[in-house]
């Protein structure tokens, strides 16, 4: 959980792109949710922090968003729908429950669109191929999230996904014994300790 409702200072505790995206709600356990992503501007700023795309691609998407505001609004709305869809899919997996069939169908539509636009490029520095979305389209903002989520959802890493009991954020538990409980020990963990201390030392009514 982040202490400031600012996309440029939000904590990145998820451990992977798709989970950090799901965590762009300040605290999912509160009745009134504060959303860090209020529009395309914030979404682009978040992507710049994640260092997923090259600076050239990022600048291209920024120009497209300004030049085609209606298209940008549609892409943004689809991103938000995807965010809540991923929360439901990963939450079900955490609780070892089968996902809602309608959620799987919806996710498959996102996957089909994203992977219809993916390309394999050779990366000399790594001496291996890499998957990229090279089409200069605003939909890249959706496709990278889908790629990240699909890789996590269909891989061994799914068993490491946890949900913070304090704020509801999702994160990868990469601790040796799989015992990590909080999205951030310095935020939610310390808050829990303070609350426990206050409860223990709460004065009893006379």
Q: Give the Cα separation of 80 and 71 in Å (integer).
A: 15
Asked if 2 and 150 count as a contact pair (C-beta separation under 8 A), the reply is no
Q: Give the Cα separation of 42 and 36 in Å (integer).
A: 7
Q: Note the pLDDT of residue 196.
A: 46
- Please work out, in degrees rounded to the nearest 5, the angle formed at the alpha carbon of residue 95 by the alpha carbons of 179 and 85: 115
Whether the per-residue pLDDT at 92 is higher than 70: the answer is yes
All domains in the chain, ordered by first residue:
17-200 (1.10.3300.10)
Q: Note the pLDDT of residue 2.
A: 45
DSSP letter, residue 104: H
Task: Extract the tokens encoding 57.
Answer: 């691609």
Cβ neighbours around 98 below 10 Å, total: 8
- Quick: pLDDT tens for 5-18: 689 999 999 999 99
Prediction pTM value: 0.88
Output 4 or 112, whichever has higher pLDDT: 112
SS3 35: strand
Q: pLDDT exceeding 70 applies to what percent of the chain?
A: 89
Using CB atoms within 10 A of its CB, is residue 179 exposed (0-12), middle (13-18) or buried (19+)? exposed
- Quick: pLDDT tens for 137-169: 999 999 999 999 999 999 999 999 999 999 999
Q: Which residues contact 12 (CB under 8 A, 6 or more apart)?
A: 20, 49, 50
The residue to which tokens 């068993």 are assigned: 159
Q: Give the Cα separation of 187 and 166 in Å (integer).
A: 10
Whether the per-residue pLDDT at 28 is higher than 60: the answer is yes
Q: Give the Cα separation of 73 and 135 in Å (integer).
A: 19
């Amino acid at each position: 959980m982040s202490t400031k409702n600012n996309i440029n200072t939000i904590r990145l505790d998820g451990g992977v792109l798709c989970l950090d995206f799901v965590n762009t709600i300040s605290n999912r356990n509160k009745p009134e949710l504060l959303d860090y992503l209020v529009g395309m501007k914030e979404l682009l700023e978040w992507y710049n922090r994640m260092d997923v795309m090259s600076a050239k691609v990022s600048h291209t998407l920024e120009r497209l968003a300004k030049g085609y505001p209606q298209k940008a609004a549609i892409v943004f709305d689809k991103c938000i729908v995807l965010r809540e869809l991923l929360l439901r899919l990963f939450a079900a997996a955490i609780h070892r429950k089968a996902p809602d069939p309608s959620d799987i169908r919806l996710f498959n539509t996102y996957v089909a669109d994203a992977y219809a636009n993916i390309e394999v490029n050779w990366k000399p520095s790594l001496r291996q191929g890499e998957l990229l979305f090279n089409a200069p389209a605003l939909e890249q903002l959706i496709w990278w999230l889908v790629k990240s989520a699909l890789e996590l959802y269909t891989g061994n890493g799914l068993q490491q996904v946890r949900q913070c009991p304090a704020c509801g954020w999702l994160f990868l538990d990469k601790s040796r014994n799989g015992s990590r409980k909080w999205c951030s020990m310095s935020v939610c963990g310390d808050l829990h300790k303070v609350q426990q201390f206050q409860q223990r030392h709460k004065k009893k009514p006379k």
